[in-house]
Amino acid sequence: MPSVVVVGTQWGDEGKGKIIDLFTGSAQHIVRAQGGNNAGHTIQIGDLEYKLHLIPSGILHPNTQCYIGAGTVIDPKVLIHEIKSLEERGIDTKERLWLSPAAHVIFPYHCLLDTLLEAKKGERFIGTTGRGIGPCYVDKANRIGIRIGELVRNDLFPKLLKSVLTLKNEKLTKLYNEAALSYELLLEEYSSYADTLRPYVVDVETRIHEALEKGENILLEGAQGTFLDITVGTYPYVTSSNTTASGICVGAGIGPRAIDHVIGVIKAYTTRVGNGPLPSEEKNSFLDHQSAREFGTTTGRKRRIGWFDAVLARTAVRYNSLDSLALTKLDILDNQETINICVAYSIDGVRTEHLPTLSCDIEKIIPIYETLPGWLTTTENITSIDALPPNARAYLQRIEQLCGVPISVLSLGPEREKTIIVNDPFTHEVAVR
């Protein structure tokens, strides 16, 4: 049975939460494999809206097993708050949500150092969420991080915390002239979190492999987007984890050959939160932020907006070995008389159809556009591809041609029912067009 990866193809906020929720009904196991509470998924079910930052979206389906994998970083306070918020709305997480003991733990010193370092960066200011994600991954790379499996061990955690906090307090007091953090208070606070989370900690990687061996359906949900990847993203304006399909596999503890289908979620236009290059950006946006719902799930910040960037999309197809696209927010373009697609770049007068490696070169890009006519009619209640306005169909076909992969899902609004599934990666059912 299939294992499917859902990955963002832009800079996050593509609508992955809805697409993940859509296919969760076909999967028995849902895995969140990387990142932390710097990312967010918004899922609309009827009149109810759920915003999740750590817990996999599949928790909203009662028959799923949900996992937070080894590649993640977990703020226990945030996770416990999410668990309680879900339970207050009648969604039980016990015996359904599981944490990898290899996931790393975010502490207050991570959040504090995140803010302090960002303030010192000057022109290299990134615009991080300040949630301590980067400093936690730094500790992981430096091999001084504390993992969930260690947090819940009373024989290990006090000694590890004392050792790490000594290093952090030296940095806080001597480099940043900040007050030292109290070992006793941190130990008390995090020991309380450990008591709450201990029943959730299991050997997640083994459970996932057992599910694979049984032929059960597995959905791996990506956080953020391809071009926020620490390795292939628009560095330094990136996150601190690997956000591509291969990074998701590593974070879940499985190999790439276990994956049957990779879906790239992509907006019908392009957005980005925070600093960094956005080649097709329109400073005077062609969309209204409020009606387009273009505010970050995690930060609430207004998103920057640009036209669909086919060069960027093709690059994401290559980085993720995408099998298909889930295109979201087509309905937001309903009132556009004309619609631009960025088909190439001009850099210092030279045309290229490839994304440069360095952000300083990406910043020089002048987008080369192909202009298509809009459709000037609502699409949000349409239930088949053939029922779309001809110009909307032409727009989708052009995106498929430029990206080199088919569109398997089309989203026409935030609600579940406002979706056209062209080809289901789990059942392989092809919709009547």
- Name the residues annotated as catalytic: 13, 41
Q: Cβ neighbours of residue 229 under 8 Å, at least 6 residues apart?
A: 238, 239, 241, 242, 243, 244, 247, 319
Residues ≥6 apart with Cβ < 8 Å to 191: 154, 157
Task: Give the side-chain half-sphere CA count within 13 A for 159.
Answer: 5
Q: Give the helix ranges, DSSP H, for 322-389.
A: 359-362
User: Would you tell me how many other CB atoms lie within 10 Å of the CB of residue 49?
Assistant: 10
| Identity of residue 335 | N
Placement of tokens 């960027």 in the chain: 312
Contact 319/9 with Cβ under 8 angstroms?
A: no
Reduced DSSP (H G I as helix, E B as strand, rest coil) percent helix, strand, coil of the chain, to 5? 35, 20, 40
Q: Is 55:32 a contact under the CB 8 Å cutoff?
A: yes
The answer to whether the peptide bond before residue 76 is cis (omega within 30 degrees of 0) is no
- The burial of 302, by beta-carbon neighbours within 10 Å (0-12 exposed, 13-18 middle, 19 or more buried), is given as middle
The beta-strand segments (E) located in 194-237 are 218-221
Please give the single-letter amino acid code of residue 73. V
369 beta partners? 342
User: What is the rounded CA–CA span in Å between residue 208 and residue 214?
Assistant: 10
SS3 188: helix
DSSP string, 142-178: TT---BHHHHT-TTTHHHHHHHHHHHHHHHHHHTS-P
Q: Which amino acid is at 321?
A: S
Structural contact between residues 231 and 291, judged by C-beta atoms closer than 8 angstroms:
no
